[in-house]
Structure 1
């Protein structure tokens, strides 16, 4: 038995139907918002890659600074399917970094590499010394190789993130390690490419330490690892950047065995 008039009942039905449509529409609207991006490299070779990522960041190396990711071409194609919607480029690259000194398979002995004599802010790299001058040249050389011999077309069009982790070989001299990364950043700048820094605060402080404003690393953007979820990754966007003049551009978290990246810009 109805206690209201037929007209009022019809109005209530229309209102209820509109509310139901609104509830149904919300998930579809949410699905159109930019999602996270993903980064992949050699560990994902032969495995299913994420779908629908907002942006893709592809590792150029095979775990070491002097190697090539065997799936680089395939993964670059995958990254090209990114949907966009954030402040990140659809496709970016990251490279393994290291400063191995005597433990490496190659070490520079001069300021010349790839047919170019480099203006080295730390002076001459003589006799293969392991100080800042030759460390700078080692970084320059690895960046040159990454851009020229690993199969990256049009390298100047990408952002190149420098992956700085304690799992790689590093000097106990933080100045030499900083010089190594400065050499890499200098090469990418010489071809007109953008550069960023990937690490955690603890690893960065151990490997590099404080970066002065005179360094070409000082104003570079940071990509911070170590979050456990998308929500935590979002909060880490407010963390202090790795260098005093930079800002946090990306944060990373792991889910289901895959790396996800939250854009902070």
Structure 2
């Protein structure tokens, strides 16, 4: 997750592509170095993922957020185990957990490598607030509608928690990385509603496994959203207060300095009632994270 100076309004982690490019662009974060010095000795964190595989990571970060997926919503960060071990050495000192996770998100529809055909995943029937995802007779995939979009998100979250190598997934805070670089529905009347349904499916699954969960520090598990207001608006549009996306913590990208990251803590969250709890800034092309409540 990073910001390139040539696209300040995006503020995210890899060279931006047009939203219409469906599902074929891998995103990532830049190599991590020691956090830049601060006159006020502010405690900052770092986020890492597959681009840092084989690289020497910084030491002394207050907290760390590790990418579980490898740039797309349907693959795995090959260095997840090593990076989780690195993250566990975070020093703490903020309200953020020493170790949190993030996952890529998308709604590729039929352009992806897999699309659901029913409300069953992997072998149980999933309660679906949008109704029944059902493949037409003779077809392997369901339509790109609200029920199947919800199921796609639920399935991706299930995979993130169960097959990518995360131990005790219910004890982590999970961030949904929502960026225009990944595959989304566009140019249809209900595109943002379809995208929201996918994200709601992910949220509902993660909330089902993190409810009441705490890590070794005693900090609550849960789920939040990483994006910028610009990208979020393109992908998800206006979120109704009845959505499970409403009120989730926001991790805002887009700042270029620590001072800017601090200022962004006062911005509105990405959804109704959403508190901004983490902001991201970029220094010398590297990503850092600031805890808005210390």
TM-score range (shorter-chain normalised) is 0.7 to 0.9
Give matches, 1:1-265, under 5 Å.
33-127=41-135, 128-172=142-186, 173-192=191-210, 193-265=221-293
Q: By how many angstroms is 1:36 displaced?
A: 0.5
State how far apart, in whole Å, the 2-side matches of 1:259 and 1:71 are: 18
What does the per-residue CA deviation read over 1:98-141, in whole Å, with 9 as the maximum and x for residues that have no partner? Answer: 00001100000101102221111110001111011100000000
Paired residue secondary structure (1:57) = strand
Larger Rg: 1
Q: By how many angstroms is 1:256 displaced?
A: 3.0
Q: By how many angstroms is 1:32 displaced?
A: 9.4
State how far apart, in whole Å, the 1-side matches of 2:111 and 2:53 are: 28
Q: By how many angstroms is 1:42 displaced?
A: 0.5
TM-score (norm 1): 0.87
State how far apart, in whole Å, the 2-side matches of 1:93 and 1:154 are: 12
Q: By how many angstroms is 1:181 displaced?
A: 0.3
State how far apart, in whole Å, the 1-side matches of 2:230 and 2:99 are: 28
Structure 1 stretches of 4+ moved >4 Å: 30-34
Unaligned runs of 5+ in 1: 1-29
Paired residue secondary structure (1:110) = coil
How many equivalent pairs are there? 236
State how far apart, in whole Å, the 2-side matches of 1:240 and 1:31 are: 27
State how far apart, in whole Å, the 2-side matches of 1:251 and 1:189 are: 22
Q: CA RMSD in A?
A: 1.3
Unaligned runs of 5+ in 2: 1-37, 136-141, 211-220
Between Structure 1 and Structure 2, the one with more helix by share is 1
TM-score (norm 2): 0.78
What does the per-residue CA deviation read over 1:35-94, in whole Å, with 9 as the maximum and x for residues that have no partner? Answer: 100000001111121110000000001100000000100000010001111110000000
Paired residue secondary structure (2:47) = strand
Paired residue secondary structure (1:117) = coil
